[in-house]
Amino acid sequence: MKKRGEFMADYRILRNFSALFAFAAGIVMPAAVHADQAAFAKRLSNGENVALNALTTGDQLAVRELEGEHKIAGHNVSFTGFSGVFGQSSDTAYILVASGHAGANGNQAKAGEVLVLMPYGGDALVQRFAARQFLQSWSEQAVNAHPDIYERFQKASKKQKWGLFFGRLEPTSFNVVAPGSNSQELARRSVVGSDAVQKIRFSGVADPEAIEREVVVEFVKALAAGDAATVASLMDPTPFGAFDLRGGADGARLLMANQLLASHDWPQRLESVAAERMAGNGKWRMANNTYSTLLGLRPVGDFIYVQTINSEH
């Protein structure tokens, strides 16, 4: 049984009888949040002050009285008197509205609704969520840290209660944070949940070649900086389990990343290089006056990873 306050709280979507439930069954929750302007939030769990762009996979931020337009998960989102919660899971970013409005791509969510932001600049979807179930997931520490936001969600919950009573709404089993199951979400998160991958998936960029370039640039930067965690997260996960890297597979992937870092003097080989896409799909070349490095990319799921690397004098 899930404990109160766990991130996998069951935020079920409510469905209106007058409209079909248009939420695709394959959607999983959230996105990385990236703000263009200085704006601040607090962690839902403990009230710690953080920037809006501090949200990571599995995290939630409480936001109070937010106004204006902000870049969130690659989407231009406009806020009017907004108070609520931002969240992120492996495949979408979501904005739960306690009061005010949050809108993107011509769709606007009000109190008791969730704005779902898809990766690669995809659609922004609006659905109702079960405020009562959401509030049940709050820990005592979260309630004490955000009493005004908690109260606003309570008001939204009471309105939904009457909607359920009169038959205008009905609950569904759809879980905003983990639509398939908690285990499936954790498996997915082990593959695409890193900051480096989420930054690219939720940058708003949709062009395949531009996405490839971002992967190459981030991988090369990580190699030159000796950042094993980022190198590992951008390596082809197929040899390690492909779609589930739990149970030690992620550790094996990190070990290989460290071995790759130790194999060459990467700062010397990658100094002052620009990535050039070769004629063949998924081939990128970086060269300076002394070394030439060739990367081969491979798509896995909805992302593309570095499959091979060859560096020569």
For 259, the 3-state DSSP assignment is: helix
The H or E element containing residue 208 is helix 208-225
Looking at residue 56, its pLDDT comes to 83
d(CA 151, CA 307): 50
Phi-psi region of 105 (alpha: psi -120 to 50; beta: other; left: phi over 0): left
How confident is the model over 3-62, as pLDDT tens digits? 333 323 334 444 432 332 233 223 333 333 333 444 788 999 888 888 887 778 888 999
For 264, the 3-state DSSP assignment is: coil
**Across 298-303, average pLDDT:** 94
Confidence of residue 180 (pLDDT cuts 50, 70, 90): low
For 308, the 3-state DSSP assignment is: strand
For 65, the 3-state DSSP assignment is: strand
Looking at residue 225, its pLDDT comes to 95
The H or E element containing residue 114 is strand 113-117
Tell me the two tokens of residue 285: 């070349």
* Cβ contact 172:20 at 8 Å: no
Report for 5-19, 153-167, 172-186, 241-255: range of highest mean pLDDT? 241-255
Looking at residue 170, its pLDDT comes to 56
Looking at residue 55, its pLDDT comes to 76
Please provide the average confidence, as pLDDT, over all residues in the chain: 82
**207-312 topology per CATH:** Nuclear Transport Factor 2; Chain: A, (3.10.450)
**Across 124-141, average pLDDT:** 88
* Cβ contact 296:308 at 8 Å: yes
For 33, the 3-state DSSP assignment is: coil
Phi-psi region of 265 (alpha: psi -120 to 50; beta: other; left: phi over 0): beta
Per-residue pLDDT at 312 exceeds 70: yes
Could you tell me which of 302, 177, 189, 190 has the C-alpha nearest to residue 240? 190
- What torsion, rounded to 10 degrees, do the Cα atoms 75, 80, 84, 90 define? -10
E-strand ranges in the chain read 12-16, 40-43, 49-51, 60-72, 75-88, 93-104, 107-109, 113-117, 124-129, 169-175, 276-277, 283-287, 292-300, 303-312
Per-residue pLDDT at 240 exceeds 90: yes
Could you tell me whether strands 60-72 and 49-51 are parallel, antiparallel, or unpaired per DSSP bridges? unpaired
Where does CATH 3.10.450 sit in the chain? 207-312
Per-residue pLDDT at 169 exceeds 60: no
Amino acid at 100: G
Q: What are phi and psi of 246, to 5 degrees?
A: -80, 170
How confident is the model over 157-166, as pLDDT tens digits? 888 775 554 4
Per-residue pLDDT at 84 exceeds 70: yes
